[in-house]
Structure 1
């Protein structure tokens, strides 16, 4: 019996040792920023603590860097390989008020001449990175308005001569550069000082179920896909002061192979937009099943003005309520350059198919251009838009065009910033097409609430025109 007890005790000791060894060998999966010194007192600048957690997580092979329970202020943090930055529900990552707390990565000058490159959360040449959780990343962009910024700089002892410098290089909220295998899910992105989520020369991207609200400052874009490819954007709710979802190319590298679906979009400037920064091509992009509402600057804008060749664009099943011009397509000759790239030749737009759109514009009092029009498609005299197909398009307008509006001469404005409102009131309230090689349209319904002396449809310099079944207030209309 004594021998049996000794053996049993021996087995127990071995078991305990094995359990200890197993626990010691278990791979760590979560790095809590509080373990690295982060404090949620709404005062401490936690940049170094959060960055240390990210660095250690990546060095160990990857995992979750966790932000939970409270508000943490930070300057720029950079994600590294295999790191998932998780902001748990109830937690907030807040942008520092001090402009000196932000780093610049891959600087460039945007289409309106402002310096860009700073961000709150960023990544450069990283792989397999993510932002997740149901918490909030808030840039507190109102702190970068001139008056607030001046107060901060005085408090921090920063020379006031640098005010313009900091005001012109406001930080983005999230910025990924030359990175791959990116996932952004469920997070709430709030009040950036500039663009909200910018991806430049990135690939293999999944953006799912995020919520963006950004009206804190100027240039408050939602999602900017810039010279990036192989992306899926779905189930997002976006409400912005500037473009909601914008495809850009601030380099000659294309933005391509992207699907956007099932998103709810609101903007003060444009909801779905290609350009204006458009050096590289846009191709193989599908947008479907989206709801656009209360938009001040146009529903769908497809713009090539800096040399971009736009092709194989599919836009389907879009509902719009209270928008300025529902569809605007522009091939122009601005030819602006970015990042010291050589100037491009004038680009092209072709193989664009827009179908199953039901759009209602603002009324006369609320329209940016009053009376409004439904669709404007224009190339230039020397560079025509290629092939555009429209099918099952329903547009509801207030009418109200006067006789003098029907005689308006629409400017060419080949080299100007491409915005539909800059063309003014159009001589057509339904569709105006100009400088187009081939327009194919089928099942177009245009409804107006009050009399409009302008033409329903106006075509100028359209080489091949195949338009059938056009109805104005339910009655068939024959294009002259």
Structure 2
């Protein structure tokens, strides 16, 4: 017969063993984090589930699509996608030819596949984009549907070597930006009118429900191109994307997504190439970005709306990508209020006289946010205009951007980086006295033709290990 004392003793042994195991796991996790974070990246990649689709094919031509570049095929796309999903999924095929359409809404288990010479032309009529729950510059609202949209879907994809053409230029979507370089002139309505952008921000700060933040026609807030909202297990592969109205690839509140071999060529206003927001386990690889704004910009919501959602973006991985024109190669912010952590960038090439920075973090005391654990290695940089690494807690582009949410930037590492033309500064880092930029490491970094070694303000522990700037070895600053 087993006594209570025996049971108690066994429980104690079990709990002690469990404690030792957990401590061991914690030490192992800590070791991965502090000694070799790239092992953590490998684990994340292995954990991302792959999309799988039925062999069934649904040709949009069989649902009434006409490839003349003039006939509106929105209904044909809708019918093919819905039929495909209803029957368990498969491939919705876009054959070679030019297909005009309004918004395309994906459904579960659907792979929208473009043949090599297929081109989807998106309508320039705002009425072809119904009002949906979306986001605009980090603030949720009801607005024009993204050109391609999925909400609460699983196992979805856009694949093939065809082209998605937003057709945006200075005569339509881009003029709404209010930028003179994009066709705007005094008297033309834009997103900057008093009843548009700032009204949305004010509504969010006042806590007005998203369902009541209704914009759309007459409010001039441009739609995103491809937005997967609250989706899981998604793929975008091989397609070419051009001439976007606004942000181009926008996973928001989406987990487990792979973006592979995509070419983005779009030089309009706010034409960020890829903006993961409130998203986790996002792998961006083998892509080319040639953009009018940031090539990749990792987001986490704007101001009060970001703090309301409170989902950090994490485990964002960028591999084997090429960045050409853009405000930054890989950027974190400025819509960053919920925070970002665990960003990995490796084996990328960045080069253009129109690329301002290679790696950038931008926030301010109105945005706030904790940005930590950013790891970069094996980077080849030809030319950048301003600097190689910029970490800025005083980002200010819309007038006064100060508040009571002091940001945190810490644990940023660059390793095995070569730069031929470094611009004005190799490193530009500015923090607060109460919240300095902390723990910056440059290891095996060689930067040529840079005007100044660095510009530092309230920076704690910046380590230069085997790092040469303008052929001169740089010493660490630990304080």
Please state which band the TM-score falls in when normalised by the shorter chain: 0.7 to 0.9
Q: How is 1:247-396 mapped onto 2 (pairs within 5 angstroms)?
A: 247-250=298-301, 251=306, 252-294=310-352, 295-305=354-364, 306-324=367-385, 325-332=387-394, 345-361=405-421, 372-396=424-448
Q: Is 1:119–1:171's contact at 8 Å kept on the other side of the alignment?
A: yes
Q: Any idea what the Cα deviations from partners look like across 1:48-75, whole Å, max 9, x if unmatched? A: 1101111111111101111112100111
Q: Is 1:230–1:257's contact at 8 Å kept on the other side of the alignment?
A: yes
Q: How is 1:410-449 mapped onto 2 (pairs within 5 angstroms)?
A: 429-447=452-470
Match of 1:8 in 2: none
* C-alpha distance in 2 between matches for 1:249 and 1:383: 20
Match of 1:70 in 2: 97
Question: How much does 1:117 deviate?
Answer: 5.3
Query: Which protein is bigger by CA-based radius of gyration?
Result: 1
Residue aligned with 1:34, SS? helix
Question: How much does 1:43 deviate?
Answer: 0.9
Q: Is 1:288–1:316's contact at 8 Å kept on the other side of the alignment?
A: yes
Q: How is 1:55-94 mapped onto 2 (pairs within 5 angstroms)?
A: 55-94=82-121
Residue aligned with 2:107, SS? coil
Q: Is 2:94–2:113's contact at 8 Å kept on the other side of the alignment?
A: yes
Q: Is 1:262–1:290's contact at 8 Å kept on the other side of the alignment?
A: yes
The worse-fitting range, judged by mean Cα deviation, of 300-309 and 58-67 is 300-309
Residue aligned with 2:62, SS? helix
Question: How much does 1:438 deviate?
Answer: 2.0
Question: How much does 1:386 deviate?
Answer: 2.1
Residue aligned with 1:42, SS? strand
Residue aligned with 1:172, SS? coil
Question: How much does 1:265 deviate?
Answer: 0.7
* C-alpha distance in 1 between matches for 2:139 and 2:233: 31
Q: How is 1:83-232 mapped onto 2 (pairs within 5 angstroms)?
A: 83-110=110-137, 118-142=145-169, 143-145=171-173, 168-215=220-267, 217-232=268-283
With structure 2 as the length reference, what TM-score do the two structures score?
0.72
For the pair 1:239 / 2:290, whether they are aligned, the reply is: yes
Question: How much does 1:303 deviate?
Answer: 2.5
Question: How much does 1:269 deviate?
Answer: 1.2
Residue aligned with 1:326, SS? strand
For residues 117 and 377 of structure 1, do their structure 2 counterparts lie closer, same or farther at Cα, with a shift above 3 Å needed? farther
Match of 2:18 in 1: none
* C-alpha distance in 2 between matches for 1:263 and 1:146: 27
Q: Any idea what the Cα deviations from partners look like across 1:170-212, whole Å, max 9, x if unmatched? A: 2222111111100011111111011111110100111111111
Match of 2:74 in 1: 47
* C-alpha distance in 2 between matches for 1:303 and 1:161: 29
Q: Unaligned stretches of 5+ in structure 2?
A: 1-53, 178-187, 194-216
For residues 145 and 63 of structure 1, do their structure 2 counterparts lie closer, same or farther at Cα, with a shift above 3 Å needed? closer
Question: How much does 1:392 deviate?
Answer: 1.4
The worse-fitting range, judged by mean Cα deviation, of 373-382 and 241-250 is 373-382
Q: Is 2:95–2:118's contact at 8 Å kept on the other side of the alignment?
A: yes
* C-alpha distance in 2 between matches for 1:335 and 1:309: 20
For residues 359 and 115 of structure 1, do their structure 2 counterparts lie closer, same or farther at Cα, with a shift above 3 Å needed? farther
Q: Any idea what the Cα deviations from partners look like across 1:328-366, whole Å, max 9, x if unmatched? A: 012348799xxxxxx88322111211111111337xxxx
* C-alpha distance in 1 between matches for 2:426 and 2:246: 30
Q: Is 2:300–2:337's contact at 8 Å kept on the other side of the alignment?
A: yes
Q: Unaligned stretches of 5+ in structure 1?
A: 1-26, 150-159, 337-342, 400-428, 449-454, 466-480
Q: Is 2:133–2:140's contact at 8 Å kept on the other side of the alignment?
A: no
With structure 1 as the length reference, what TM-score do the two structures score?
0.72
* C-alpha distance in 2 between matches for 1:147 and 1:316: 39
